Amino acid sequence: MVAMILSGIVLTITIMIEIAVLGVYGLSTDVFPFLILVEKLNLGEFIQGLEVIAMVVLIIGGFFKVTVFTYAAVISATDLFKGQNHRKFVLPIGVMIFITSMITSDSFVEHINQGKIVLKTIFPLFEFVIPLLLMIVFFIRQRIKQQ
């Protein structure tokens, strides 16, 4: 929970700085506003050219994000199929992720357009609908246990 709160605070501060430097229009039109922000960074004509460090940070962050999501998928599949050993699910899920990543979009533009559709249709389902249903089921089970 602390990690989620800290991540939220860091993201909020980063977006506030991006809005302050790039403006709302620049933030909404740039594909990678963080890189534009880092490109504009110039501390006393001494610290410049931090784009490489920013790219390394973004790549490492993306790696950890994919790793955590893959781990969650493996553990969830193990639990869903009542498996004893989660190692049996690593290869099938890894292959599914690889194949899906290869066939979903042919270009960056197509990837962005698909992302816009997913953000409006699929994400609300996983962010609001399913958690709400799980919370309702939880409260119903609690009431049944109390009776």
Query: What pLDDT digit, counting tens, does each position of 69-127 carry?
Result: 999 999 999 999 988 999 999 999 999 999 998 888 888 888 888 888 988 999 899 88
pLDDT at 40: 82
User: Alpha-carbon distance 67 to 75, whole Å?
Assistant: 12
pLDDT at 59: 93
Output helix, strand, coil percentages for the chain, rounded to the nearest 5: 85, 0, 15
| Mean of pLDDT over the chain | 89
User: Alpha-carbon distance 119 to 73, whole Å?
Assistant: 20
pLDDT at 96: 95
Question: What is the per-residue pLDDT across 11-53, written as a single tens digit (0 to 9) for each?
Answer: 999 899 989 988 888 888 888 888 888 888 777 777 777 888 8
pLDDT at 30: 84
CA nearest neighbour of 3 among 47, 95, 65, 70: 65
Q: Exposed/middle/buried for 74, CB within 10 Å: 0-12, 13-18, 19+?
A: buried
pLDDT at 104: 84
